Amino acid sequence: MASKNDPTKTLQPELEGLRQEWDRFIQGLEKRPPIPRQEKFAKKMRQAMTTRQMGHVERFKLNQLQQRFMTLRNRWERILRQIEDGTFRRERT
């Protein structure tokens, strides 16, 4: 059971929104990548990771969320490099 000080309750929907913004950029619907929003999310994640008043369950969930963010960030950086190099083909539906 999640406690009141579970930071994943606010960070998880925010990460999903960030993922959706990146998907729109990758598809070509947005002109600029949402890098400022990504940096704000990374800052919030770092602050949440330094919180000491978490139980084991909350810490586990936060670690999972951090790993998901790192995986997505690496994917976004790779795709952004490919777009800049001209080797990425956007799929528009």
Ramachandran category for residue 52: left, alpha or beta (phi over 0 → left; psi -120 to 50 → alpha)? alpha
46-74: pLDDT as tens digits: 999 998 888 899 999 999 999 999 999 99
Mean pLDDT of 27-35: 93
3-14: pLDDT as tens digits: 566 888 999 999
* Tokens read off for 19: 């993922």
Of 21, 16, 46, nearest in space to 34 by CA: 21
Which of the two residues, 6 and 23, has the higher pLDDT score? 23
What mean pLDDT value characterizes the chain? 91
